[in-house]
Amino acid sequence: MSVAVTEHSGPWTVEDVLALPEDTHHRIELVGGALLMSPNPGVPHQRASSRLWALLDAAITAASAPFEVLEAVNVIVPDGLLIPDLVVADAVAAAEAGTTLSAHDIVVAIEIASPSTRVADKKMKPSLYAAAGIPHYWRLELEPAPRLYLGHLERGLYVDRLIQVGETTALTDPFPLNIDPARLRR
């Protein structure tokens, strides 16, 4: 992968990034023609992701909502390509997708903050997801205790509601969901 990166000149395109050989050590995203690389998530991150995936999948199934939960998929946004930790996507679009999904097919983009992604997840990605029109952006922070920021898009910006340990999400939109962030880490 490093040879392909160092031999590239000019701004990167989505097609360039998708043509790169698979990298098993990094997630490679594209923002404004530049690559954004982060290490693959660690075990605590993956454990929380798996638990959240299961809770979201159960809630979607219980509500008979027309969505599907997916992990680490390529999402095309106006300024490039992002790989959220989890997405809730339109089920029909997910069934028909190839390598990427359009931001228009995403209902919720979810990032789980790690030390290497904390700044991007908190500062950069919300603006990119908002510009793409994704209705919900949720950010899970695991340290010092699990807390979930539930962002809902209003007038082009996400308005966050913080859910801490001992509280529940009590969501009805885009589907009923009632979880305590403590359930995401044992």
Report the C-alpha gap between 51 and 8 in whole angstroms: 39
Domain-located, residue 7: no
Tally Cβ neighbours within 10 Å of residue 137.
26
Q: How many domains does the chain have?
A: 1
160-174 mean pLDDT? 95
Domain-located, residue 29: no
Domain-located, residue 144: yes
Q: Which domain CATH number covers 126?
A: 3.90.1570.10
What's the domain range around 136?
41-184
Residue 115's pLDDT band (cuts 50, 70, 90): confident
Lowest mean pLDDT among 33-42, 57-66, 84-93, 133-142: 33-42
Domain-located, residue 11: no
Q: In b/e form, how buried is each residue of 82-115, taking b as 16+ CB within 10 angstroms?
A: bbbbbbbbbeebbeebeeebebebbbbbbbbbbe
Report the C-alpha gap between 86 and 122 in whole angstroms: 16
Domain-located, residue 36: no
Domain-located, residue 73: yes
Could you report the per-residue pLDDT of 44-63, keeping only the tens digit for each? Answer: 999 999 999 999 999 999 99
Report the C-alpha gap between 113 and 116 in whole angstroms: 8
- The pTM is what? 0.93
pLDDT score, position 71: 96
Domain-located, residue 20: no
